[in-house]
Amino acid sequence: MKRVELEKTARALEALAECEREREREERALEVERQRRLGPVYARRSKAIEGIAGFWGIVLTQHGEFANYVRAADWRYVEAIRRVEVEWAGAGAWDFAITVEFGEVEGRLRAQSVRKQFTVGEDGEVRSAAVEMEWPKRYDGTFFAWFRWTGERPGEEFANGDELARLFSEELFPYCVRYYAEAQRDVEEEEEEEEEEEDMY
């Protein structure tokens, strides 16, 4: 390739790189603005959810992917979840925090609220600090272990903790009403099928 063509290609590649950097800046700015505008909506939604018994247990049970992170023995504790909140750092950062509030499971789990902070590096890698939570010790290897996940010890802590964090922040929290509605439709369809079967006899 001639020198002139090499220089032309180099300039074009640099222009592309700058466009990519600009795209990333704009995407981040849009995300910050999106979260700023949605914040008050989420706050009102959370207030409304308080009036629906078992809302989060139903949402989490409905979501098929969430089940990949939970053992059968965990579900009684998942169903005790009263509140889930996700807060974003804003100011151009991708960092976020997830708060999970548990109701009491008599003799097994005390009522408590746990807030877990996540940082997202420039490479997109998610990291966190372990947070204290009281849970039955025999469940150390289950869903509860996620609260101690850091992302610093692969193979030695909760598997795919970053994916579960993103599942909460990108799917479960933003679209919880959708999953709740789907669960309610499923219940209604099952009841209709049962009524039809009863009418046949």
| Sheet hosting strand 81-90, strand order edge to edge | 81-90, 93-102, 112-120, 126-128
Q: Provide the domain count of the chain.
A: 2
> Does 166 lie in the same domain as 94?
yes
> Does 104 lie in the same domain as 46?
no
pLDDT at residue 159, rounded to an integer: 87
> Does 105 lie in the same domain as 129?
yes
Phi/psi of residue 87, nearest 5 degrees? -120, 135
> Does 70 lie in the same domain as 14?
no
**pTM of the predicted model, to two decimals?**
0.82
65 lies in which domain range?
52-199
Q: Do the Cβ atoms of 83 and 192 come closer than 8 Å?
A: no
Q: What percent of the chain has pLDDT over 70?
A: 89
> Does 195 lie in the same domain as 145?
yes
Residue 135 CB coordination number (10 Å): 21
> Does 22 lie in the same domain as 73?
no
pLDDT at residue 146, rounded to an integer: 93
Residue 22 CB coordination number (10 Å): 10
> Does 15 lie in the same domain as 80?
no
List pLDDT tens digits, range 83-113: 999 998 766 567 899 999 999 988 888 999 9
Q: Do the Cβ atoms of 100 and 81 come closer than 8 Å?
A: yes
CATH number, residue 168: 3.30.1120.90
